C-alpha cells in the first residue's frame, strides 16, 4: 500500500478562517478609531468645516 505524497506546508484547511478573523479584527479596530475621532472635538470641527465648505460651494451659506 502506498501513501499519498504530502505537501511540505501540511494541512491548510483552517487558514481561511484565520484570515477572516484577522480581517474582522482589523475592521473592528478601524471602526473604533473612526468612532473615537468623529465623536471627539476633532470630528466635530472636521464635520463643521466640511459642511461649511459644501454649503459655500452650493451658494447656501
The pTM (predicted TM-score) of the whole model is 0.52
**C-alpha distances in Å from residue 58, one per residue of 6, 35, 55:** 66, 28, 5
How far is the C-alpha of 36 from the C-alpha of 23, rounded, in Å?
20
- Any idea how long the chain is? 61
5-61: per-residue pLDDT in tens? 655 566 666 567 888 999 999 999 999 999 998 888 888 898 899 999 999 999 986
How far is the C-alpha of 55 from the C-alpha of 48, rounded, in Å?
11
Residue at grid coordinates 473612526: 34
Q: For 1-61, where are the alpha helices, taking DSSP H only?
A: 15-39, 41-58
Amino acid at each position: 500500500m502506498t501513501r499519498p505524497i504530502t505537501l511540505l506546508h501540511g494541512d491548510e484547511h483552517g487558514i481561511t478562517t484565520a484570515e477572516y478573523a484577522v480581517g474582522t479584527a482589523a475592521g473592528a479596530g478601524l471602526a473604533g478609531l473612526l468612532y473615537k475621532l468623529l465623536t471627539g472635538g476633532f470630528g466635530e470641527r472636521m464635520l463643521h468645516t466640511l459642511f461649511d465648505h459644501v454649503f459655500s460651494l452650493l451658494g447656501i451659506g
